[in-house]
Structure 1
Amino acid sequence: MKWRLSALKYGKGICTLISIGLLFIILIACQNTNQEGRNSQPQSLEQTKYNQEDDNDYLDDQPQLAGGSERDVREPHPVSNNKLQKEYPNIVFLHGSPKKNQVALTFDDGPDTRFTPQVLDVLAKHDVKATFFLIGARAKVNREIAKRIHDEGHAIGNHTYWHPNLPKEELGRLHWELTETEQVIKDITGFKPRLFRSPYGALNDEMVKMLGEKNNTVIGWNVDSLDWKQPGADIVSDNVLSSVGFGSIILMHDGGDWSMDLSGTAQALDKIISKLKKDGTKFVTVPELIGVPEAK
């Protein structure tokens, strides 16, 4: 009888230990399940962007071109802007004096976090000053890059706030785009830019009249690098070097549509500057080339 009672007590003790062990295992399993659940939850937008950047997968959160990609919208205007330049010679400029061996490099659609620093590095390497036509929305979110452009001695012009195709808009849109961008640039640099370049180079008579009344100087170009077509650095440099002359205003891009890879622009720029310097060409800003102030 005593043996049976001892065995019973022993059995109860074993059961208690087994129960405690099972409870401990269940608790551990639950903790692991909860942890896995937490790990499988969708990441926040900030976490996702951070990880994608770590993997060098560019997630473009920059303001986009309201009028669309350059390659989809740009239309050749070989005569129309020349007519406007003839009609408004004190407002519209497509080039500088053909009597001086100097040119102006210009860059549109920035500041861009990917390509503007590359372009600035090449310009600094050669101690060359250029002119940047900034999109207001991009300057606002990339303030430090815009400030670097100004601090390194480059000229700055207005390229609208959202980059719309202006001839297809009401004239009031131009006024809004102009003044909003002026304010952004003034907040960064301390001045309102006098220079204005229309997106896609698209202009009409009404626009030029308004811009003139607002004390703006309209800047076009007579040498197009066609870098927005992304043909590669060699073709971009050839496009420029085969067309450039005394007084040329050269169009290039340090920003664009989110899908564009403009790294070839910076590569071509190095070759363009080196070749033209050998010919004794002087690089100047647009205000220096045409003799107008940078600020209003």
Structure 2
Amino acid sequence: MTKNTCKWILFGFIFLFLGPFLGITPSSATPQREDFPNPEGGSELTERVRYPVSNYILQERYPEIMVLSGDRTKNQIALTFDDGPDPRFTPDVLDVLKEYDVQATFFVTGARAEEYPDLLQRINEEGHIIGNHTYGHPNLVEKADLDVLESEVKRTEDIIAGFVGYRTKLFRAPYGFLYNELVETLGELNYSVVGWTVDSLDWQESEPEVISYNVLSNVHPGAIILMHDGAEWEGDRTNTIKSLHRIIPTLKDQGLEFVTVPELVDIAYQQ
């Protein structure tokens, strides 16, 4: 049993026995394991060790559909967050971004957006851009089914539109895993596929100093930085949140401006 699992079990007991006296119900205080949408394809920790077709190769093949970075002559970069909205970590990520006046791009799963619409709306209301990260976070390469892709994308698109009022044009694949036919189908669905050039590797749950180093030692003008505001039930993004307090001011001091992905790569974010 992990430290994070023990933490949520302890919180569960506290809210179960003290909640009625404090006027707090379990549903409003913390997610319940049985209702929490876990990624269908497995955790980042187990899946990201696989190596499907390189996104760099796919970007060369489909430059009009797939983007990995912006103009390297401009001092702009984009923070992106995957796998939310997650009530355990997304609020704190949003608080940090607000503290430093930074707008980011959030690639959300439909299942979690549906479960936590208030968080989805907060992301939108605070000026961040929302992208499509499928409904249930399956491994699309392993599924190898174009109908599954289309269903996952359209279902999530409808959910996002229902809560924030626009149909996103941005897509990121779970784990970043795609192959030719998947990219072609996404193009037919009028999506821009967003990859990254800087991976924080925060899914490894390293110390904040390590996550910060992974970003700061690899960043460049035009970089799209991959981070996560969501995790599976046993996962923890606390160190991601802590690392932002080092990453954001350091990069600002270096003269880099944080912008959203659509601004960085000059593409539309609405259908």
TM category, shorter: 0.7 to 0.9
CA distance in 2, matches of 1:266, 1:244: 18
Letter in 1 for 2:62: Y
- Choose from 189, 193, 198 the match for 1:214: 189
Offset, 1:50: 4.3
> 1:79-126: per-residue Cα shift (whole Å, max 9, x none)?
721111001111111111111111000000000000000100000000
- Choose from 196, 201, 208 the match for 1:233: 208
Letter in 2 for 1:100: K
Offset, 1:58: 6.8
Between structure 1 and structure 2, the one with the greater Rg is: 1
Q: Does 1:292 align with 2:267?
A: yes
SS in 2 for 1:156: strand
TM-score (norm 1): 0.81
**Structure 2 regions of 5+ residues with no counterpart?**
1-11, 20-25
Contact map agreement 2:83 2:133 (CA 8 A) in 1: yes
Q: Deviation above 2 Å: which 4+ runs of structure 1?
A: 47-50, 52-61, 75-79
Q: Does 1:108 align with 2:76?
A: no
Offset, 1:69: 0.6
Q: Does 1:205 align with 2:180?
A: yes
Contact map agreement 2:52 2:177 (CA 8 A) in 1: no
* Count of aligned pairs between the two proteins: 250
Q: Does 1:252 align with 2:227?
A: yes
Offset, 1:57: 8.6
Contact map agreement 1:111 1:135 (CA 8 A) in 2: yes
**Structure 1 regions of 5+ residues with no counterpart?**
1-46
Contact map agreement 1:49 1:59 (CA 8 A) in 2: no
Offset, 1:168: 1.5
Offset, 1:292: 0.8
Question: Which residue pairs with 1:4 in the alignment?
Answer: none
Contact map agreement 1:85 1:93 (CA 8 A) in 2: yes
Q: Does 1:163 align with 2:137?
A: yes
CA distance in 1, matches of 2:208, 2:214: 10
Distance 1:146 1:277, change over 3 A: same
Supply the RMSD in Å over aligned alpha carbons: 2.0
Letter in 2 for 1:240: V
Letter in 1 for 2:150: H
Distance 1:241 1:79, change over 3 A: farther
CA distance in 1, matches of 2:83, 2:109: 6
Q: What is the identity percentage for the equivalent residue pairs of Structure 1 and Structure 2?
A: 49
Q: Does 1:134 align with 2:114?
A: no
Please, which moves more after superposition, 89-98 or 55-64?
55-64
- Choose from 34, 55, 63 the match for 1:81: 55
